Structure 1
């Protein structure tokens, strides 16, 4: 049953104000009242749902919600209150925000040993006409795997044989748009290779270009544009030939010619993020930073420089491969594009299942200092020059770093010792940087120096309702709190998203807004 409910506008609201849809026209001093209005909408939904439930059992009732919007009741909310958290999870980057269309573009996802799995690449033709395998034959020393494709047929079937890549659940190819194709090839003979975009059934050809080259005995970079003659949301990239022989293929990239400012981000998704007006961006995780094992942790050095030379890595926490085209540099660039403060979460020498002893931490400390020089160093510095060579001679305004992620607990006894090593080194080299600890300072004072402490909570709706006043009892003179992850995740309450979960999260958020004079930093993680 669907019931309609209405809300009488309180006399203190201007006639041009609509509680949920007109918030952008209503301002509190010089601040947008978005947060307050989100609260009003949540309270309105709660009031209406309660009113409608009561009407079912006791007859029609009237629910009246009075809101004091006078300036005396207004509270100034810090500009830094709301921001975003980016983590490579559920293909948020690879296959999402990052515009690369080819999955496993360097054939590295199957591991360093050959022959290896080449998923999601597949062959076109049967085993009597084509044979493919991976070999350690690439010209790139940091990602040595390449694909060897041997065409066996003297008279190949119409259209030829070859390989295809479906991207991430199909490539969304749109009519009239062009796509930049880059690949590296080598052959002992001349090459006749067709690159085409087809619908997933392989029947509708949307774009095609032919590569004819007689000088490919050494690895050669091929670049071309494919112009789409049609639209198909489940397209795939095909590389086919009818010429007998062997071709080695590596580092195949397909990306729309138009990305946001040419920075490699999908324009439509960036605009959605910009509409949120985030004041900070926390990256790149999350547990993605840690890994289940340290060997699979995020290593910033391996995510910078030319994309072809990035080795990529297996994100063992979320169980998929990423080629790290969206790396440390690109995430700093993303923060800049969004007008947001970057918050760099680095690995603290700890993963989910292993950790280094504090006495062996020196390489990790140096790694972090180098990452800060990459972001903030002059264009003439060792790592600042690498950043400049990538196209950004100006320094990135990196002022916040987090030492690890969820590492302060009894299962990780080295964290506090690690933290002090990082803290002292960063404070000496960059005294203005604000350092965030993983240890919870909301219940008792911390025993180590800290500018902010990171607070995460994933729980049920009832518990989050009860936590709305948690920080009202926190000292206003101690370290500030960075509430970087919170959500109702209990399956019975949240499911795939529910009003109850939303209201509980909103109530928790309201409690933090009320005391935001302590500069509580917020974001929603689900």
Structure 2
């Protein structure tokens, strides 16, 4: 049947091009290219509401020491494992063995977090065995230094127990020992004979981006500490998210948030996979786990609930990726995978169930009685080739569709090359490659079947070291060409997200990444800024466009119609990537308009660099960023110049509509 339709398609394209060229008097010569845009309402196609979103994986300390604003690393002393004695890193000792013994034991108040820190203080406040000036104890440097800012308040929470009375000094200091904030904990033996929770506000008197938390004493005795937390009070909406990092995400206007991985979901071994039930409830009671793929401990304070809350705060739909009984090295056979299936069903109930349901009531007790808007789940991550994946997948699929028929299910198997052999609403497509290859993939979805499951390009990036560096302009430019191709094929591509999203500069496990940060600063790589060109694409209208050029291997373009929510005005946005090394002359002709194009209010935005391998940095965060300027020659027909190696966006402001008055030969303007 496809062969019967092909001649009609060819004929329609021919007629469109012939009509456009006759109307506009346009031809293609060796030095010029032509972009024909049909802006008529009838030719437009709605772009999915969900086209562009973000993917969060706990990698590169993206959450622990990043988006999640907790300043204490290894706050529960669990990172060294459940056996004692254990490693308390990065906690360190103030004092030496002659005055202090530090160890861990299993005396914690919390059943799932049994490790506590024990301090045997051998010195005293006076006498021949007096403690050194400043006392003895422990300090925590956080994640490569705590960011403490003058005038801000930080909430310290800790649990303490002792065999006698205590006099503990709490200090925030800079790297030179200069005091930034202080408090004292004084309690009688009866007050701390059992575990006591303390909450102490600390107002910073100074600023340091490399601060630390100290707990010291000059009183002889035995003290235990557990679950020591330090959080800034000014997190986003009080939800625990670091404000500056959150804002970088919000500026992308993501329509979905895929979480929490990635390989983080699978684990190198199942015993270390992310399990949602261990990441909800009071933070003190979460056991945490060692992420054995990216090789660091997380206390899982940024857990399943927090990811759902983050999605809601961003105005994005959550896309939950859960383990399907498959890791990198071990798998559960399908005949006994039922407990994993039930865990997934329980997780959906936690997100969507009424507040009086078993798991919905836990969500409500955490402060969110209303259900979260969970509509998408992914069964595993990159597991398609695994022995038991298909059998496991079918069991998950059947159970979820039985109880939640509206939820869209994402398969790990690529359906772009051949039809899937199992039911799915979407299929995952991942691509990490060279710059030239990903640019050439802008046509990757041109010829995939238009029926069946849609593509979810949930991980893409240029990661070739020679091309990408730590986040180069070349990588971003090539990715822009790829994204334009996905936008043009948004009838078969429903969702797109870059990966990885974050990296703490002190722990780069993957390279490159979209957003780079440390304790106090951050910047977007050029790949981040490319995403900003697509923030208005979701839910916009894709306009039919044809690019006539002799440079098809280096030029790619798309056109959309969109409404600016900030000024309630309508625009046509034309995006063009010139991947070549020559300046290009482009004639743009927009046909089918019911409006005029207004030069005043129209803009041009360009991302460009003379050095293809240019990167942003903490010292030069804006070295490669988009530059916007008025588009003074904005019109339905205009000549534009595309610099070599550039991404250019033309935002054409639509003016008043033209409305024909019945019985008249002329048109009337309207401000509709």
Structure 1 CA distance for aligned equivalents of residues 423 and 95 of structure 2? 64
For 1:319 and 1:152, the matched residues in 2 are separated by 36
Residue 341, structure 1, aligned to residue 339, structure 2? no
Pick the aligned partner of 1:268 from 214, 226, 244. Answer: 244
Equivalent residue, structure 2, for 1:90: 60
Aligned counterpart in structure 1 of residue 70 of structure 2, from 82, 94, 100: 100
| Secondary structure at 2:362 match in 1 | helix
TM-score, with length taken from structure 1: 0.86
Change (3 A) 1:160 1:65: farther
Structure 2 unaligned spans of 5+: 1-29, 125-129, 501-672
Give yes or no for the alignment of 1:185 onto 2:169: no
Per-residue deviation, 1:374: 0.3
Partner of residue 479 from structure 2, selected from 505, 510, 518: 505
Q: What is the distance in 1 between the residues matched to 2:33 and 2:285?
A: 60
Residues 319, 377 of structure 2: 8 Å contact kept = yes
Pairwise CA distance, 1:66: 6.0
Larger radius of gyration: 2
SS of 1:80's equivalent? Answer: coil
Dislocated runs of 4+, deviation >4 Å: 62-70, 72-76
In the alignment, what sits opposite 1:160? Answer: 135
CA offsets, 1:269-297, max 9 Å, x none? 21221111100000000000011010000
- Report the alpha carbon displacement of residue 462 of structure 1 after superposing the two structures with TM: 2.5
Instruction: Count residues with an aligned counterpart.
Output: 462
CA gap of 1:246–1:66, structure 2 versus 1, over 3 A, is farther
Q: Partners of 2:308 and 2:214 in 1: how far apart? A: 34
> What CA distance in whole angstroms lies between the structure 2 residues aligned with 1:424 and 1:188?
57
Q: Distance in 2 between matches of 1:414 and 1:218?
A: 49
How far does residue 67 in structure 1 lie from its aligned partner after superposition? Answer: 5.2
Supply the distance in 2 between the matched residues of 1:360 and 1:407 (Cα, whole angstroms).
18
| Structure 1, gaps ≥5 residues long | 1-61
The equivalent position to 1:223 in structure 2, one of 175, 199, 205, is 199
Whole-angstrom CA distance in 2 between matches of 1:136 and 1:95? 26
* 1:348-406 deviations in Å (ceiling 9; x for gaps): 10111111111110110010000000000000000000000000000001000000000
Q: Check the 8 A contact 2:48/2:490 in 1, yes or no.
A: yes
- How far apart are the structure 1 equivalents of 2:231 and 2:440? 47
Residue number in structure 2 paired with 1:457: 431
Residues 263, 381 of structure 2: 8 Å contact kept: yes
Inter-partner Cα distance in structure 1 for 2:171 and 2:153:
12
Deviations 1:128-177 (A, max 9, x none): 11110110110100010000011111300111010000000100000000
Report the alpha carbon displacement of residue 71 of structure 1 after superposing the two structures with TM: 2.2
* SS at structure 2 position matched to 1:472: coil
Give the equivalent residue in structure 2 for 1:328: 304
Is the Cα–Cα contact under 8 Å of residues 114 and 136 in structure 1 kept in the other structure? yes
Give the aligned partner of residue 480 of structure 1: 454
Higher strand content, 1 or 2: 2
Look up the SS of the partner of 1:370 in the other structure: helix
Separation in 1, partners of 2:420, 2:68: 39
User: Would you say 1:408 and 2:384 are equivalent positions?
Assistant: yes
TM-fit CA distance, 1:505: 1.2
Is the contact made by 2:150 and 2:206 (CA closer than 8 Å) also made in structure 1? yes
Compare the two structures and name the one with the higher helix fraction. 1
Structure 2 residue 46 is matched with structure 1 residue 71: no
1:140-159 correspondence runs (5 A): 140-154=110-124, 155-159=130-134
CA gap 1:267/1:177 in 2 versus in 1, 3 angstroms: same
Greater relative contact order, per chain length (Cα 8 Å cut-off, separation 6+)? 2
Structure-to-structure mapping, 1:7-46, within 5 angstroms: none
